[in-house]
Amino acid sequence: SSGINAEYGGTGGAKSDPGAVGAAIEQALTAGYRHIDCALIYRNEKEVGEALRRVFDAGTIKREEVFVTGKLTETYHRPERVSEGCVQTLADLQLDYLDLYLIHSPMHLDPDSPRTDVTPDPLNPSLAETWAAMEKLVEAGQCKNIGISNFTIPQMDEVLRTAKIRPACLQVESHPHLPNLELLEYCKREDITFVAYSPLTSPGRRPGQASILENELVREIAERHNASPAQILIRYQIDKGNGVIVKSVTPSRITENLAVTDFSLSPGEVSQLSAISDSLPSGYEKRCCKWDRFHNHPRYPFED
């Protein structure tokens, strides 16, 4: 078990402005969130770490009550660099261990190139090699669980073929425009927890993409349950058995996004929401987080 409890919402620091994420983390933990999603590439882990330290030092919330996720960035895929990436995250977050450490994407980058470059690593470390190094982090007590993010089914198969420790979870974009049902069914078969990011299609919505919050069906279901459209979209993930990461730095929305435990969606409503993607016009870009700069990478996972 990954330890991810769908009923206890997750929040993270993706695309948060400097100075805003720390306050948002403190507000989220005070409101009742118990899953904090971090990544080295977000470039705000030191601020998150300071917020976590303030909360833990206050004594009202203990470290063991909070599930903290970190992610191995693309320049650390070489087996000898995996531990270095984890140690950096632990130092920045001021933690002794992570509850979950993910390979942020299947793509590797040259660690000797400028940070803004997207040149693949010329040593071409395999996913199996990187995963084997991730397993050593568990053995060393640096993280309790390991998982993957933004992987395709063939890429997950590659990891599973040689894994001694199976991935605890897959974290991918998911919402009614992009329910990723094939990936979800795969995860269910393989007993891998499915964790949805960008469940509200933002931040990160691309030009020309409609807001799922404004969708007529979403609003109709929200009215039926006396809930907000955002709460419906979060509950949509929970009622599929998924974990969910919701990003906000607005105190009122942080609280609202967690208040989803007093109702549930019917199986019919879940199916209706999943079917929204089938009604989108041909050629419509369903994905918000497409990592366009990486499009020519040989392991680019978003060709759909």
Catalytic residue annotation: 42
Name 243's bridge partners.
Answer: 195
Q: Which residue has the tokens 């990723």?
A: 180
C-alpha closest to that of 175 among 149, 154, 202? 202
Cα 299 vs. chain centroid, distance in angstroms? Answer: 19
268 phi and psi angles, rounded to 5 deg: -65, -40
Cα 277 vs. chain centroid, distance in angstroms? Answer: 21
- Residue 172 and residue 162: Cα distance in Å, rounded? 22
